[in-house]
Chain A
Amino acid sequence: MRTLFYIIQKEFIQIFRDRLMPRIIIGVPLLQMLVLAYAATFEVKDTRLVVADLSLSEDSRQLIAHFEGSRFFKVVAVFPDYKEAEHLLLKGKAHQILVIPADFAGASHRGEVPRVQILTDAVDALAAGVRTGYALQVIESFGKNISPKVTSIPNDGLQFKELFWYNPSLNYQTYMVPGILAHLVTILGMFLSALNIVKEKERGTIEQINVTPVKKYQFIAGKLLPFWLLALFDLAFGLLLAKFIFQLPMLGSIPLLFFTASLYLVVVLSFGLIISTLAETQQQAMFIAWFFAIVFLMLSGLFTPIDSMPIWAKVFNYFNPVAYFIKALRMILLKGSGIKELWSLLCILAIYAIASLSFATRWYRKTSS
């Protein structure tokens, strides 16, 4: 126990003596929270719309005015023909074309359904979907205005009232911030631990440690604990930022959240240590860590919902501890789930923690053959 204490003490002296390390520990959470949470949003603003108005009527002008009135659209040009509008789309000056056909005016008076066409630049498929959705909303509200009869949902007594639970205003940041917190502790934990033992190898200091009577488990624990504490500190720091900057709801129990994070961090740190024992240089460790971090994070449901992934990705996520952790964080923070709901999740994380820790200890060798 005493030996462990001295190893940890040594690690902390080294961490705080490093010129970059303290800045990384404070700077990374700040940057990630501020940059990622604001930038990673699905809200698509300022759609540049070009109109091909073949109708040139009072009705078509009203429709265009509706688009101009929407805060999501910016009408960049109105042409009386289609060709020029398409040209702008090709050049990338516009995101969307609204084509108003010549027979648009008076269609409803003639008993026909007026038609318009929306063409969207779908290179960014996600944004294209959102833009089309916004355009449909504008058109629908316009349709209600000119003729109460023209609506997409038949008004025959059946009424819908939508209610969104846990995130009633569909605030994208509320969804993203817990994920970014998970991203933060994953990256920080994995990289700090992956680079650590390799650094001792590169400098040769591991030779001197290996001839001491320090036990394997003491060495591994001495490497894990400091980073475990630092990552938890960063999680606390990140949560404070989330609370005060993003007013993130925190419905569930914070101790439960930290307990989950503690378990999860054992997995991440052990994984980093395994990389560290396999790699010979910090460069190798960095590449391996990046590779795994990217794959696990991308598939974890951080940015895109797991439900919309292909089957293989869903299967992969049964083995992806990051996915479990992000899910747990969102459940605790947004839904206020308690230990009853998280029970199975915690068990899985615990199994991962035990497995990866024993692997890390097993793979570290004091004697080489």
Chain B
Amino acid sequence: MVILNRVSKTFGKIKALDEVTFQVNEGELFGVIGPDGAGKTTLFRILATLLLPTEGHATIKKHDVVQDFGVLRKITGYMPGQFSLYPDLTVEENLEFYARVFRTRVEDNYSLIRDIFTYLEPFRKRRAGNLSGGMKQKLALSCALIHRPEILLLDEPTTGVDPVSRAEFWGLLHNLQKQGLTILVSTPYMDEAAHCNRIALLRQGRILGVNTPKGLQEEYSLHLWGLKGERPALLLPLLRQLPAEFRVYAAGQEVRVACRERNGIEKIKALLETSEKWDHIQISLVQPDVEDCFIALMQENNELQYK
């Protein structure tokens, strides 16, 4: 459905995308996950035919994003990260306008947006600029869907939206997927990866890995321990004294330590026994989540680069 082949984009001296290669299958909900500045928006703008890649090729349904932009603009629905509808037009007027410029009518494709529009119904006559963040996202999604595209490109649709609206939004995406849409979505939130069929981890313009969220966790080859205590802030500098093969980082209220060796826990325990004030620390073996995988891949990648 979507094929990216060594797509690179440079802005002056900055390499925003570095030989990005992956494929998205038909009907998939595919996530591009990475921190701010990873190149997500650049990638989506190239796919949306708004930006020309410096090198490489990208096709959507065998249509090249550079040559066949005319066809692609009809079959893709793009929702930019920044709210881009007319703030001085009402909800209804925005929807009507985008339907019209795509040469269709709201009624014709209403079935596709019915779910979403039920949320917006009470605000039909309100100007788009006066909607809440969550409602703006829903309106933007409706407008991106109004011409019944075959593929949806959603650039950080959940950034800056409250947790309830985020959950609702993912629910809407699952429903759309059931209707046969292929969806490409980017997000900086690692915990949202679980909603996707497959994810690509993006950092500094490079793909660190492409896998299912589960596969990614299974691929995780390190042993991972979580340490809980009263003062995690003090724990972190202590654990940083561990040898270089240990990776130590904070995750929420925990400090996590990853290591290749199973018996690494002995060294951790030895370190904690140096002082009585660490007596209360609880150590447990934990299952890696997507963030742990991201950190592990990131460090592997760094090591590769230095070699």
Hey, which bits of chain A sit against chain B, CB under 8 A?
Answer: 2-3, 6-7, 10, 13-14, 17-18, 203-214, 366-369
Contacts and interface: CB of A to CB of B under 8 A. Distances in A.
A211 B76 CA distance: 8
A14 to B, nearest CB: 5
Interface in B25-46: none
Contact of B86 (A6, A14, A207, A368): A14
A17 B93 CA distance: 13
Interface string B89-101: 1000100011011
B285 interface: no
A6 B88 CA distance: 16
Contact of A17 (B76, B88, B98): B88
A211 B85 contact: no
Contacts of A368: 50-52
A281 to B, nearest CB: 15
Nearest to A4: B101
B61 interface: no
Interface stretch (B14-22, B67-75, B181-189): B67-75
Contacts, number: 73
Contacts of A212: 73, 98, 101-102
B84 A2 contact: no
A214 B101 contact: yes
Contacts of B85: 205, 208
B89 A10 contact: yes
Given A10-B89, A204-B84, A210-B50, 19 more contacts: A3-B101, A14-B86, A14-B89, A17-B89, A18-B88, A203-B87, A206-B84, A207-B80, A208-B84, A208-B85, A208-B98, A208-B143, A211-B49, A212-B102, A213-B74, A214-B101, A366-B50, A367-B52, A368-B50
A367 B70 CA distance: 12
Contact of B51 (A209, A213, A367): A367
A193 to B, nearest CB: 18
B287 to A, nearest CB: 40
Contacts of A7: 101
Interface in B52-77: 52, 69-70, 73-74, 76
